[in-house]
């Protein structure tokens, strides 16, 4: 029985319901109510590697790690040391603290376990998750260097304000992964937060780098796949549009911040003028001086306002980077689909060769046909031997097509389960971020009104 198709993507109309990767197999759609979550690794995984993945992760849907453990990135620290080429460098490390939830609920308050990690180690963890779970929209890391900044904001990645925002972003990344029903069960992720020494060696021992698909290979699949799944194609287009819209929004916000900063700081001139004026007035002096103080406070408040704005901008940037994670899921599907089509094409070619050998007729122009005309036909024994080899190759090809068909269907099912989860999360997060931004703007305008109301009262008392 076929499950219903997934809901349509925003602004793109109804999404096609047929799985293009089946090529004759039955249609299989992702059922969001399914209790099964399979681990689909790289297409090059051997049986032993698949078994190793199963050992490393518990794929049954159960309580995510975040329900069992408190996780935080509590502070950042600047350090100096030597890099791989023995050069002196300055870098930032982040303190990860973890504590079991059950010890807190029992009334105890034990000291948390803690360890330090560099940003590059967070990158290594995410790259491992991308390769190991290609069907999952893996949460993005915060930006390595500041983007979409207004001119008064430092773009230096060692700037304390930037490091603080990145600390919040790294904590958010860990919380996102720890709340995911599949990613949170990964052994490497757990050790990242609990084992300071030897963790990198364990990551490299998984061999994830060798399994990673090359960019050239993925690009080749994108242009050569013949039957792309409409849902993944439209999802990729949607992620491109989402990235474009958020980029424009962040640019507009940076321009507004520049102008807002100027408007607020100019109010400081009111304060200076009113103070100077108060010095030459006896009866009006107190009122003018009080009004000047209100204007000075108003001008100084813009720094805190724009710092708060940066946190809302960071929430938008997260989904700017999420769009690339969505495209990665789509590219992996294209690669899986392309490999299936190549296997089908190879099998069809082998069957055609068998038919030509059996009948002795060559339907298409080929080097083999030219050779036969020049040097004569093959002996029955040679033909029999070739037929035997072809039969074995056809059997292997049929098994390969069957396996890749099954893998492609399974990938689609699991990918759509996670895409549905991501869309629900995205809608909720962006709604909350935009509403909070609007509330902040309203609050800021009310403060401006209050400043001028106070100034008016000062003037009335003169």
- Residue 86 CA neighbour count, 13 Å, CB half: 0
Burial class (CB in 10 A: 0-12, 13-18, 19+), 75: middle
Q: What pLDDT is stored for residue 245 in this prediction?
A: 94
Q: What are phi and psi of 89, to 5 degrees?
A: -145, 155
Q: Which residues contact 261 (CB under 8 A, 6 or more apart)?
A: 150, 152, 302, 306
Q: What pLDDT is stored for residue 305 in this prediction?
A: 86
How far is Cα 145 from Cα 147, in angstroms, rounded to an integer?
A: 6
Kindly give the confidence (pLDDT) of every residue in the chain, 462 residues in length, as a single tens digit, with 9 standing for 90 and above: 444 444 444 443 333 333 334 333 333 333 333 333 333 334 455 555 555 555 554 434 467 888 888 999 999 998 888 777 778 888 899 999 998 887 666 666 677 788 999 999 999 999 999 999 999 999 999 988 777 665 566 556 778 888 888 999 999 999 999 999 999 999 999 999 998 888 999 999 888 888 776 666 666 666 677 887 888 989 999 999 999 999 999 999 888 888 888 888 888 899 999 999 999 988 888 899 999 999 999 998 888 888 888 888 889 999 999 999 999 999 888 888 888 888 888 888 888 888 877 776 655 555 555 555 544 566 777 777 888 888 888 888 888 888 888 888 999 999 999 999 999 999 999 999 999 999 999 998 999 999 999 999 999 888
Burial class (CB in 10 A: 0-12, 13-18, 19+), 458: buried
How far is Cα 37 from Cα 29, in angstroms, rounded to an integer?
A: 14
* Domains parsed from the chain with CATH numbers: 64-210 (3.30.1520.10), 213-360+383-461 (1.20.1270.60)
Neighbours of 214 (CB within 10 A): 8
Whose CA is closest to 95, among 113, 109, 108? 113
Q: Which residues contact 20 (CB under 8 A, 6 or more apart)?
A: 227, 228, 229, 230, 337
| Separation of CA 167 from chain center | 17
Secondary structure (3-state) at 305 = helix
Burial class (CB in 10 A: 0-12, 13-18, 19+), 194: middle
The pTM of this model reads: 0.75
How far is Cα 245 from Cα 82, in angstroms, rounded to an integer?
A: 41
Taking the chain, what is the end-to-end CA distance rounded to the nearest angstrom?
Answer: 83
- Residue 190 CA neighbour count, 13 Å, CB half: 14
Strand order in the sheet with 69-82: 69-82, 88-100, 113-118
DSSP-assigned beta bridge partners for residue 90: 80
Q: What pLDDT is stored for residue 381 in this prediction?
A: 76
Which tokens go with 455? 């100034």
Q: What pLDDT is stored for residue 351 in this prediction?
A: 84
CA distances from 121 to 70, 113, 200 (A): 20, 18, 8
Q: What pLDDT is stored for residue 326 in this prediction?
A: 94
DSSP 436-450: HHHHHHHHHHHHHHH
How far is Cα 34 from Cα 164, in angstroms, rounded to an integer?
A: 40
Q: What pLDDT is stored for residue 108 in this prediction?
A: 65
């Amino acid at each position: 029985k076929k499950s219903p198709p997934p809901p349509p993507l925003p602004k793109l109309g109804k999404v096609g319901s047929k799985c293009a990767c089946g090529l004759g197999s039955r249609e299989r759609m992702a059922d969001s109510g399914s209790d099964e979550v399979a681990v689909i690794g790289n297409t090059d995984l051997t049986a032993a590697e698949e078994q190793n993945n199963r050992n490393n992760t518990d794929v049954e849907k159960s309580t995510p790690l975040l329900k069992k453990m408190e996780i935080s990135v509590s502070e950042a620290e600047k350090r100096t040391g030597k890099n791989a080429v023995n050069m002196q460098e300055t870098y930032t490390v982040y303190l990860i603290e973890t504590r079991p939830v059950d010890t807190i609920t029992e009334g105890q308050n034990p000291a948390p376990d803690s360890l330090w990690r560099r940003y590059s180690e967070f990158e290594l963890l995410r790259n491992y998750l991308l390769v190991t779970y290609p069907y999952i929209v893996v949460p993005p890391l915060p930006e390595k260097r500041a983007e979409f900044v207004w001119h008064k904001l430092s773009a230096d990645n060692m700037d304390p304000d930037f490091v603080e925002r990145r600390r919040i972003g790294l904590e958010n990344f860990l919380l996102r992964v720890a709340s995911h029903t599949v990613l949170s069960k990964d052994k490497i992720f757990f050790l990242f937060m609990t084992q300071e020494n030897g963790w990198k060696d364990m990551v490299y021992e998984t061999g994830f780098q060798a399994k990673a698909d090359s960019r050239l290979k993925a690009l080749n699949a994108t242009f050569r796949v013949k039957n792309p799944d409409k849902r993944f194609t439209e999802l990729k287009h949607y992620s491109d549009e989402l990235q474009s819209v958020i980029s424009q929004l962040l640019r507009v916000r940076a321009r507004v911040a520049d102008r807002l900063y100027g408007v607020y700081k100019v109010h400081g001139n009111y304060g200076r003028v009113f103070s100077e004026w108060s010095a030459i007035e006896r009866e009006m002096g107190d009122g003018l001086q009080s009004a000047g103080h209100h204007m000075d406070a108003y001008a100084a408040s813009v720094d805190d306002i724009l710092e708060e704005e940066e946190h809302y901008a960071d929430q938008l940037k997260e989904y700017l980077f999420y769009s690339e994670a969505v495209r990665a899921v789509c590219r992996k599907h294209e690669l899986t689909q392309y490999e299936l089509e190549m296997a089908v094409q190879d099998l069809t070619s082998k069957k055609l060769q068998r038919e030509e050998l059996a009948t002795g007729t060559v339907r298409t122009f080929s080097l083999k046909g030219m050779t036969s005309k020049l040097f004569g036909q093959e002996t029955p024994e040679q033909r029999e031997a070739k037929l035997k080899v072809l039969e074995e190759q056809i059997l292997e090809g049929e098994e390969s097509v069957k396996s890749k068909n099954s893998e492609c269907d399974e990938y689609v099912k699991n990918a759509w389960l996670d895409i549905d989860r991501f869309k629900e999360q995205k809608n909720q997060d962006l709604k909350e971020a935009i509403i909070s931004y609007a509330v902040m703007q309203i609050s800021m305008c009310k403060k401006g009104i209050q400043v001028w109301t106070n100034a008016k009262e000062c003037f009335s008392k003169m």
